């Protein structure tokens, strides 16, 4: 039984779940918190160049302060982020993150999910997205969408598995839009 159904409404901060992935590996999942900044920065640095490009739709080697400021701004109403952590040589390490941010109309949210290169193919992205979708529905959002590189095959597979519909991006032939009616 998934612990996603056990989430208490409106009590996000401080809640956490121990989840088992497909291979039996256990991860801690909880909302991203301000004190996670250094861990989030390290997570981004450890991503492969391709993973960073797919996640941020651009190339860079180091996350700058402005990017980290944006990523760490989570108000748990208009913005939400769930971080997945696992023990790695005695330290808790970020291995995945999912997030959304509402659009100006308040009825939609743009989402993203990223999993550490060495943690892929275990079901972590699906797990993180299920938490995110659950909260978006609690917040009465009507549509979740993601803008992705047309060559991002892992996102294509994930979006298809989760029931997202795929459309060409109207302004950028190198991008696609995945959307899910909530």
Predicted local confidence at residue 106, as pLDDT: 78
Predicted local confidence at residue 141, as pLDDT: 96
Position 163 in a domain:
no
Predicted local confidence at residue 13, as pLDDT: 43
Position 155 in a domain:
no
d(C-alpha 62, C-alpha 180), whole Å? 32
- Phi and psi at 151, nearest 5°, equal -95, 5
d(C-alpha 139, C-alpha 106), whole Å? 10
Predicted local confidence at residue 62, as pLDDT: 83
d(C-alpha 30, C-alpha 17), whole Å? 6
Position 162 in a domain:
no
pLDDT level of residue 15 (50, 70, 90 thresholds) = confident
Per the prediction, the chain carries an average pLDDT of 90
Mean pLDDT value across residues 63-90: 93
Predicted local confidence at residue 60, as pLDDT: 81
Position 49 in a domain:
yes
CB of 128 closer than 8 Å to CB of 112: no
- The domain tally of the chain equals 1
Q: Which residues pair with 176 in a beta bridge?
A: 148, 168
- Phi and psi at 128, nearest 5°, equal -65, -40
Position 151 in a domain:
no
Share of the chain above pLDDT 90, in %: 81
For residue range 101-158, list pLDDT tens digits in order: 999 887 999 999 999 999 999 999 999 999 999 999 999 999 999 999 999 999 999 9
- Phi and psi at 131, nearest 5°, equal -60, -45
Position 170 in a domain:
no
* H helix runs in 30-100, sequence order: 37-46, 49-56, 65-72
Among 5-14, 60-69, 163-172, the minimum mean pLDDT is found in: 5-14
Predicted local confidence at residue 3, as pLDDT: 36
Given a cut of 50, is residue 75 above it in pLDDT? yes
Q: What is the CATH number of the domain that holds 99?
A: 3.40.630.30
Given a cut of 80, is residue 9 above it in pLDDT? no
Q: Which of 177, 153, 154 is nearest to 164 (CA)?
A: 177
Domain that holds residue 107: 3-141
The β-bridge relationship of strands 91-102 and 108-115 is antiparallel
Position 63 in a domain:
yes
Position 160 in a domain:
no
């Amino acid at each position: 039984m998934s612990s996603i159904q056990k989430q208490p409404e409106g009590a996000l901060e401080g809640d956490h779940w121990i989840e088992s992935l497909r291979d039996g590996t256990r991860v801690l999942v909880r909302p991203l918190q301000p004190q996670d900044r250094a861990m989030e920065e390290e997570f981004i640095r450890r991503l492969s160049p391709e993973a960073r490009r797919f996640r941020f739709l651009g190339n860079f080697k180091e996350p700058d302060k402005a990017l980290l400021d944006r990523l760490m701004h989570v108000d748990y109403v208009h913005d939400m982020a769930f971080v997945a952590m696992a023990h790695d040589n005695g330290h808790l390490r970020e291995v995945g993150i999912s997030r959304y941010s509402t659009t100006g109309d308040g009825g939609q949210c743009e989402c993203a999910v990223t999993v550490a290169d060495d943690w892929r193919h275990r079901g972590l992205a699906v797990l993180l997205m299920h938490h995110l979708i659950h909260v978006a529905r609690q917040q009465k959002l009507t549509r979740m969408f993601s803008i992705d590189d047309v060559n991002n095959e892992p996102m294509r597979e994930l979006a298809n598995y989760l029931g997202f519909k795929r459309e060409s991006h109207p302004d950028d032939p190198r991008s696609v839009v995945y959307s899910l009616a909530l």
